[in-house]
Amino acid sequence: MTADATPALVEDKQRAAGPRVRKSSAYPRYLAGKVAGAAVSLLAVLVTSFFLFRLIPGDPVKTMTGGRQVSAEQLAAYREEFGLDLPLWRQFTDYCGKALTGDFGTSYQFRAPVIDKITEALPNTLLLTGTAFVLYTALGILLGTRSAWRHGRLGDRVNTGLALTLYSIPSFWLGLLLIIVLSVGIGPLPGMFPTGGMESGGEEGLAYVLDVAHHLVLPVVTLVAVEYGQTLLVTRSALLDEMGSDYLTTARAKGLRDDLVRRRHAVPNALLPTVTLIFINLGRTVAGVILVETVFSWPGLGGLFYQALSVPDLPLVQGLFFVFAAAVILMNTLADLVYPLLDPRVAR
């Protein structure tokens, strides 16, 4: 570090350094506020998930036993089994009490605990959307940064044009296209990837890992292609806002290489909107992407949610809704907690 650095540059350096900036005295209050907000939101979700799906018309037990002759005694037994014979307020308090311990009841259609169905599908969704998330976030930030830094040039126009185009393409359409081209094969291009599913079945050990990786490629490519544009555009836009700042001129005047000015000074200061987006996407990762999971027959939460809604399987719908919402709330809260580390002014 040079001794003659201007005060402005020192401040900018501190901001750019990010994690090295320690929490201000306002941080605990800020932290408590955000955590309390998250807790209230979770409570609201719990209440909403219970009452919202009870607005769906019909009798869950009749739906469950639709098409079969069921006696009054059997219907009563089912109602008792699923707690539907209790007054609404009792059902609600039972639901809340059990939900806090992870018990969301029993799925009507699968006759299995909801939490079991969720934990069965969750790792599959996390693998798919998590892999895609890492890739499209990295790709979006890298290309967004480069586009902004060389804005107006051919590369920028191609980058943003391509990103906007892919972002506008329906994911299921792109997925089907990739299946036809890269899975079945077209012309001289051979089919290289499985058309769907997560595994061939019957594989073990390393062969299983490789098999799953093989199945992962096309759905991940689809998700990355459709999603990276958003990160790219947000990063590009934020960085463009920073581009005319005086501290960057000062940095350049000091003789720093352009690449360093971009990476060490401009990008860290422009990251805040991108961080928000990253955390929101991270929350959505748990929910999976229903259409991509359907096109590629990926056995994840998205497909499970669709199945639950079409019955409707109330306990499963409620459980999934809560998990999805909780993931988003959790990630947004984490984003709030990280902001002050990037920019201490946020917590003031």
Partner 1 sequence: MGTNDQKRSLPHGLRLVALAGAAALTLTAGLATPLDPASQQARAADDGKKVLTVAVAQSVDSLSPFLAVRLLSTSIHRLMYEYLTNYDPKDNHAIAGLATKWEPSPDKLTWTYTIRDTSKWSDGQRATAEDAAWTFNKMMTDTGAATANGSYVGNFRKVTAPSPTKLVIELKKPQATMAALDVPIVPKHVWEKVSDFSEFNNDKSFPVVGNGPFVLSGYKADSYVRLKANKDFWRGSPKFDELVFRYYKDQDAAVSALRKGEVSFVAGSPSLTPAQAESLKGADDIQVNDAPGRRFYALATNPGAKAKNGKKFGDGHPSLLDQRVRNALFRAVDREAIIDKVFRGHAVEGEGYIPPRFQDYFWKPSADRKLSYDPAEAARLLDQAGYKKNGDGKRVGKDGKPITYRVLCHATDPNDKAVGKYLQEWWGELGIGVRLNCLDNVTDPWLAGKYDLAFDGWSVNPDPDFVLSIHTCGALPATPEETGATDNFICDKKYDELYARQLTEYDPAKRADIVKQMESRLYDLGYMNVMAYPNAVEAFRTDQIKSITTMPAKAGNIYGQDGYWSWWSAVPADSGGSSDNAASTTVVVGIVAGVVILGGLGVFAAMRRRATAEERE
Please report whether residue 192 would count as binding partner 1 according to CB under 8 A: yes
**Total residues contacting partner 1 (rule CB under 8 A)?**
84
Query: Site residues for partner 1, window 285-304 (CB under 8 A)?
Result: 293-297, 299, 303-304
CB of 44 to partner 1, least distance (A): 27
Q: How far is the CB of 63 from partner 1 (least distance, A)?
A: 5
Tokens of 116: 């079991």
Give the side-chain half-sphere CA count within 13 A for 12: 22
Q: In the complex, what is the shortest distance from the CB of residue 228 to partner 1, in angstroms, rounded to a whole number?
A: 11
Helix (H), strand (E), coil (C) string for 207-220? HHHHHHHHHHHHHH
Pick the closer one to partner 1 by CB: 38 or 143: 143
Q: Give the nearest distance from C-beta 89 to partner 1 in angstroms.
A: 22
Residue pair 299/346 in contact by the 8 Å Cβ criterion: no
Among residues 32 and 189, whose Cβ is nearest to partner 1?
189
Q: Does 335 bind partner 1 (CB under 8 A)?
A: no
Task: Look up tokens 């089912």; give the residue.
Answer: 78
- According to CB under 8 A, which residues from 90 to 119 bind partner 1? 106, 109-112, 117
Smallest distance, Å, CB 330 to partner 1? 22
Measure the CA angle with vertex 101, ends 125 and 302; round to 5°: 20
Q: Is 155 helix (H, G, I), strand (E, B) or coil?
A: helix
Residue 203 or 241 having the CB closest to partner 1: 203
Q: For residue 73, give both structure tokens.
A: 């005694």
Choice between 161 and 185, CB closer to partner 1: 185
CA distance 222 to 217: 9
Q: How far apart are CA 47 and CA 95, in angstroms?
A: 9
Token pair for 90: 């009792």
Taking residues 243 to 282 in sequence order and writing x for each that binds partner 1 by CB under 8 A, - otherwise, the string is --------------x-xx-xxx--xx--x-----------
Q: Alpha-carbon distance 249 to 234, whole Å? A: 23
Distance CA 40, CA 5 (A): 46
Name the nearest CA neighbour of 179 among 90, 296, 54. 296
Q: Which is nearer to partner 1, 2 or 25 (CB)?
A: 2
Task: Tell me: does residue 309 bind partner 1 (CB under 8 A).
Answer: yes
Mark residues 140-159: x for contact with partner 1 by CB under 8 A, - for none. -xx--x--------------
Q: Does 339 bind partner 1 (CB under 8 A)?
A: no
Phi, psi of 91 (to 5 degrees): -60, -40
- Comparing CB distances to partner 1, the nearer of 158 and 260 is 260
Q: Rank residues 31 and 309 by Cβ distance to partner 1 and give the closer one.
A: 309
**For residues 234 and 271, is the Cβ–Cβ distance under 8 A?**
no
Which residue from 347, 148, 329 is spatially nearest to 232, judged by alpha carbons? 148
**Residue 80 binding partner 1, by CB under 8 A:** no
Q: Tell me if 21 contacts partner 1 by CB under 8 A.
A: no
To partner 1, the closest distance from the beta carbon of 53 in angstroms equals 12
